[in-house]
Amino acid sequence: MCGIVAATSRKRDIVPLLVQGLKRLEYRGYDSCGVAVWDNGLKRARSVARVAELEEQIKHEHLHGEMGIAHTRWATHGEPLVCNAHPHFAGDEIALIHNGIIENYEEIRAELQAKGVVFSSQTDTEVLAYLVRDCFHGDLLKAVEDALNRVRGAYGIAVFCKQDPSRVVVARQGSPLVIGVGEGEMFAASDTMALAGETDNFIYLEDGDVAELLPESYKIFKHVGTEFEPVEREVRQVQAFSNAVELGPYRHYMQKEIFEQPRAIADTLEAVREITPAIFGDQAAEIFAEIDRILMIACGTSYYAAMTSKYWFEAIAGIPCDVEIASEYRYRKSVPNPRTLVVTISQSGETADTLAALKHARELGMDKTLTVCNVATSAMVRESRLHFITRAGVEIGVASTKAFTTQLTALFLLTLTLAKINGRLTEEEEAQYMTQLRHVPKAVSSVLALEPLIIGWTSRFADKEHALFLGRGIHYPIALEGALKLKEISYIHAEAYPAGELKHGPLALVDESIPVVTVAPNDQLFEKLKSNMKEVEARRGELYVFADSDTGLSSSEHIHVIRMPENYGALSPILHVVTLQLLAYHTALIRGNDVDKPRNLAKSVTVE
């Protein structure tokens, strides 16, 4: 991983297009980048700096060509060194870029070394390039097909060779890849955004697809056993908006996206006129009538959205709900229930573990599937019978913000829908909840106005290396999300616990050197939470409390309180998490970190 761009044309130099595509994919996170073209031979430029530096290198080396491939890499095999950066060459014959992981690359590497191949990198990708060369007998498509029959793992690849320098072969298995259909030119990319302005006509490749691209044509083949059979895929018109990634007046995309949350939530709610199963698809009424349990599957921030919604599903809709980390669920023996609604949550809809877990659940006979996602054309949406598309817009910052709050909005709508079907939602309650939902954007705007107060706290956090986050009930997952945000972008080690667990171990960490961030809504657990805060205070811990305005809490020597604008009941998590996003953002800012591209992390995790 992380980003792929490829193009073949008979009418222009495509290097500027490749570089522009890489710039648009920078949001995914990467630690090296490169471009390879055909220019009377295989030529390339690679860098472990940013795409802007790569662009200068390309200009200096006068790299140009009508066919080429480009890549941003997030290291899996081998350090972020130039020798490990893509594109990889197999001698002077094959050029290849690759997202994913080839699981059996070591045995193939040993086999090729026995044939005299000398590798220059530690990557599985270079092994795949030499394997394609080893299989090549004059037909690049056949060579790629034969090579893919030998490998295990996940991949999105683009390959070209010196024998036929106008032809690009691409393939997908578990890693997203789209073809862009132009006039007298063809493109491929891991994200339509990379090709914004070049074409609006896209083909979304399915797992097992291999495609051959020429400037005027394309052919797609589907992997069936060890054979590849011709297949037709729908050409969709999708307008990929490049202006969606402009930074505007903000310092970072994360800051921009935090402040876009009122609009993102309002947009997500815009098409919802009433609570009805049709919100989730034409089959929803039929499917919802047949379920008696919910299984939620997700990773990272989306997993915390699932944890939060578990409280809603059980308290409001009265449906038992299990929440699973995708990477764990698919590898353990579980007890399937065919009357389970399997809900997957993902910003990109391409998260490898979640996508694989969805397929695993279906293989177990649980075919009532629903995906909550921000990308309508994603693999996860296509794999599910039902879906809800959040309207967060493009999210560039690696640390998710508006995707999370729009996921919570969607999951609350699902809660109300199931509660209504189960006879647990009166007309009056439905009207009250919908009024509350419509007011959430305004309420979030009021929370954003607390930014100056939160900035006042962050100087105290900047020199810390550890932090503790506490919450109770439905706000425990919000504490987890707050700790994750602080870890992701400030690199401060942060842990989150249900506040009632303090005395069962975490209290041993508390002293005057560790800030303890507490989410304190005025709910039925508030008095219990106050007792937990007293436990921290008695150990000289420094408390930073986000409290509802009607709690009566006030600041003192070791307790710092910021009052929330209003108590928002069941929807309180959406408001409280915004304060934690701001806390993490401004702490990272003071520490001088690259907020949008935190070290070691990628935006879209398309490998295990």
Q: Is the pLDDT of residue 416 over 80?
A: yes
Q: What digits encode the pLDDT tens for the residues 216-230? A: 999 999 988 888 899
Query: Alpha-carbon dihedral of residues 148, 151, 153, 155, nearest 10 degrees?
Result: -30
Q: What is the pLDDT of residue 329?
A: 96
Tens digits of residue pLDDT in 497-525: 998 887 788 878 888 888 999 888 888 88
C-alpha–C-alpha distance, residues 588 and 486, integer Å: 8
Comparison of pLDDT for 25 and 446, the residue scoring more: 446
| 130 to 139, 393, 404: CA distances (angstroms) | 15, 40, 42
Lowest mean pLDDT among 140-149, 232-241, 351-360: 232-241
Alpha helices in 191-233 (DSSP H): none
DSSP code for 174:
B
C-alpha–C-alpha distance, residues 592 and 462, integer Å: 10
Q: Give per-residue pLDDT as tens, 170-212.
A: 999 888 899 999 999 999 998 888 998 899 999 999 889 999 9
Residue that is written with structure tokens 């070394």 in the block = 113
Does residue 290 register a pLDDT over 80?
yes
What's the mean pLDDT in 477-494?
96
Q: Pick the closest to residue 145 from 206, 99, 211 (CA basis).
A: 211
Q: What is the pLDDT of residue 319?
A: 97
pLDDT at residue 243, as a whole number? 45
Six-digit token pair at 415?
A: 């809660």
- Residue 148's contacts (CB-CB under 8 Å, 6 or more residues apart) are 155, 171, 173, 210, 223
* Closest C-alpha to 541, from 576, 564, 517, 577: 517
* Mean predicted lDDT score pLDDT of the chain: 91
**pLDDT, tens digit (0-9, with 9 covering 90-100), for 544-597:** 999 987 777 777 778 889 999 887 889 999 999 999 999 999 999 999 998 888
What average pLDDT does the segment 228-254 reach? 80
End-to-end CA separation in angstroms for the chain:
11
Least confident range from 7-11, 183-187, 533-537, 576-580: namely 533-537
What number of other Cβ atoms are within 10 A of residue 463's Cβ? 10
pLDDT digits (tens, 9 = 90+) for 246-279: 777 889 999 999 999 999 999 999 988 899 999 9
- The reported pTM is 0.82
> How many Å apart are CA 24 and CA 4, to the nearest integer?
11
Q: Which two structure tokens, joined as six digits, stand for 23? A: 């710039």
Q: Which two tokens stand for residue 433?
A: 């909840």
User: What Cα–Cα distance (Å) separates residue 66 from each residue in 157, 165, 217, 467?
Assistant: 19, 9, 15, 53
Whether cis (ω within 30° of 0) applies to the bond prior to 87 is yes
User: How many Cα neighbours within 13 Å face the side chain of 437?
Assistant: 29
User: Is 1 a residue whose pLDDT tops 60?
Assistant: no
Residue 101 has which token pair? 């992981």
Instruction: Band the pLDDT of 606: cuts 50, 70, 90.
Output: low
| Type of residue at 19 | V
Locate tokens 């066919």: which residue? 67
Segment 86-109 mean pLDDT: 93
Active-site amino acid positions: 2, 603
Q: Report the largest interatomic distance among the alpha carbons of the chain, rounded to a whole angstrom.
A: 78
Predicted pLDDT at 223: 87
Q: Where are the beta strands (DSSP E) in 39-191?
A: 42-47, 67-73, 88-90, 94-102, 153-161, 168-173, 178-181, 185-189
Lowest mean pLDDT among 112-121, 245-254, 304-313, 322-331: 245-254
Beta strands in 274-432 (DSSP E): 293-298, 321-325, 340-346, 369-373, 386-389
- The pLDDT, as a whole number, for residue 607 is 54
pLDDT computed for residue 242 by the predictor:
54
Give the pLDDT mean for 140-145. Answer: 95
Nearest 5°: the CA angle 459, 442, 387 is 100
H-run or E-run covering 517? strand 515-520
**CA torsion angle 255 257 261 264 (round to 10):** 160
pLDDT of residue 24: 85
Residues 455-471 pLDDT 10s: 999 888 888 999 999 99
Residue 334 CA to residue 559 CA, distance in Å, equals: 45
| pLDDT at position 283 over 90 | yes
